[in-house]
């Protein structure tokens, strides 16, 4: 292996480490800010994160109208719970795609 090849491999490794998504960070975001969709934004699922954020805001802003907000918060809670099981697959896919981008 030439010096250029080894420096390119080292650079690719650094790029991967700098941009890879962490499962631990994602679960911390899910646990503390899950209803706001923070874990989805971090994992690159921004569209779903925006929908979760909107559901959260609508739910809490209308909760005082005879509990109307529960129509938004209940599905959001179920969705966030399901996300806990989807996170590993998202990150595996993201990090695999990152490897292909770095090596290309």
Mapped to the 3 state alphabet, what secondary structure does 36-71 carry?
A: HCHHHHHCCCHHHHHHHHHHHHHHHHCCCCCCCCHH
The DSSP element (H or E) to which 84 belongs, if any, is helix 70-103
The DSSP element (H or E) to which 92 belongs, if any, is helix 70-103
Model confidence pLDDT, tens digit, residues 13-69 = 888 999 999 999 999 999 999 999 999 999 999 999 999 999 999 999 999 999 999
Residue 4's pLDDT band, with cuts at 50, 70 and 90, is confident
Task: Please count the structural domains in the chain.
Answer: 1
Residue 1's pLDDT band, with cuts at 50, 70 and 90, is low
Residue-number span of the structural domain to which 81 is assigned = 3-103
Lowest mean pLDDT among 33-37, 80-84, 98-102: 98-102
24-30 own/partner pairs: CB under 8 Å, 24+ apart: 26/87, 26/90, 26/91, 27/84, 27/87, 30/80, 30/83, 30/84, 30/87
């Amino acid at each position: 292996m030439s010096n250029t090849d080894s420096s390119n491999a080292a650079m690719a490794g650094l790029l991967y480490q700098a941009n890879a998504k962490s499962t631990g960070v994602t679960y911390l975001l899910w646990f503390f800010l899950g209803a706001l969709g923070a874990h989805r934004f971090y994992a690159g699922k921004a569209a779903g994160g925006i929908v979760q954020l909107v559901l959260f805001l609508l739910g809490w802003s209308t909760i005082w109208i005879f509990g109307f907000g529960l129509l938004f918060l209940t599905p959001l809670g179920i969705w966030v719970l399901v996300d806990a099981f989807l996170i590993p697959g998202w990150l595996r896919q993201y990090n695999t795609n990152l490897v292909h981008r770095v090596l290309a």
